[in-house]
Amino acid sequence: MIFDFDVLPPEAKNKLLHSTIVPRPIAWVTSLDADGVRNMAPFSFFNVFSADPAILGFGVGGSVFGGRKDTAANIRARKDFVVHLVSHSNRAAMNLTAAELPSDIDEIELAGLTAVPSERVSAPRIAECDVAMECVLHSEVPLSQERSLFLGRVVVMHLADKMIEDVERYYVDTPALDLIARMHGRGWYARTTDLYRMDRPIPEEVMRSIRTEAAPDAPPTEDE
């Protein structure tokens, strides 16, 4: 089947993208509005795009209440936010904060989470999360009337001590983080526990293999 995205309705494009681009990491974002009201929400159109500078980004769409979601308005007002990664143990709290609620509702309190002050940004971080990245707004890329891509520069990363294997080498026990990711459709998730390893090819070995396959057959010897 061929799907022409220039003629498909938005819901069809949404279904096709959600069903095929999986698993998607989840940015669990805390932010503050201009008056200091806290907000927390998950976003699965999310990834990291650069290490130096350290840039991550996530897409924010429209709100069921009209206009942009609280996260978008808060980032515009404060120019910062905190991205947390979601462990399997935090799945229920994350799912609860996915509900679109009025802007005066504190999702952090609602989910029974513990907010603690960040080091460099106004938005709080969540004590129950093993990974939290304090970000300042790098740029906003408008994608449509209702949707924008927010790019943030990571200024501080918090990692739980128990997840550090070697602090001098910056080795993290990634499997122990037990992170979850969004899958297809509504309500489907995956755990990062079913792992396998493939070593990256060594360029010299790949080139040697190419040359060997391309080389003509050696001329026969007298004994042949």
Higher per-residue confidence, 33 vs 68: 33
Q: Tell me how many domains the chain contains.
A: 1
Is residue 86 included in any domain, yes or no? Answer: yes
Is residue 172 included in any domain, yes or no? Answer: yes
Residue 222 pLDDT: 58
Is residue 40 included in any domain, yes or no? Answer: yes
- 3-class state of residue 64 by DSSP: coil
The tens digit of pLDDT for each residue in 150-187 reads 999 999 999 999 999 999 999 999 999 999 999 998 89
Residue 134 pLDDT: 98
The amino acid occupying position 51 is: A
The tens digit of pLDDT for each residue in 56-107 reads 999 998 776 666 689 999 999 999 999 999 999 999 999 999 998 988 899 9
The tens digit of pLDDT for each residue in 104-146 reads 899 999 999 999 999 999 999 999 999 999 999 999 999 998 8
The candidate with the shortest Cα–Cα distance to 61, out of 151, 141, 146, 165, is: 146
Residue 213 pLDDT: 79
Is residue 220 included in any domain, yes or no? Answer: no
**pTM of the model as a whole:** 0.90
Q: How far is CA 64 from the centre of its chain?
A: 23
Is residue 114 included in any domain, yes or no? Answer: yes
Q: Determine the structural domain holding residue 58 and report its residue range.
A: 10-197
Q: Are strands 54-60 and 180-182 parallel, antiparallel or unpaired?
A: unpaired
Sheet holding 189-191, edge to edge: 24-25, 180-182, 189-191
Is residue 210 included in any domain, yes or no? Answer: no
Is residue 69 included in any domain, yes or no? Answer: yes
The amino acid occupying position 153 is: R
The tens digit of pLDDT for each residue in 193-212 reads 888 999 999 999 999 999 88
65, β-bridge pairs: none
Is residue 212 included in any domain, yes or no? Answer: no
Query: Which range, of 20-29, 37-46, 54-63, averages the lowest pLDDT?
Result: 54-63
Span 14-26, average pLDDT:
96
The candidate with the shortest Cα–Cα distance to 143, out of 58, 39, 28, 77, is: 58
For residue 161, the domain's CATH number is 2.30.110.10
Q: CB-side exposure of 138: number of CA atoms within 13 Å?
A: 19
Question: Are residues 124 and 74 in contact, defined by beta-carbon separation less than 8 angstroms?
Answer: no
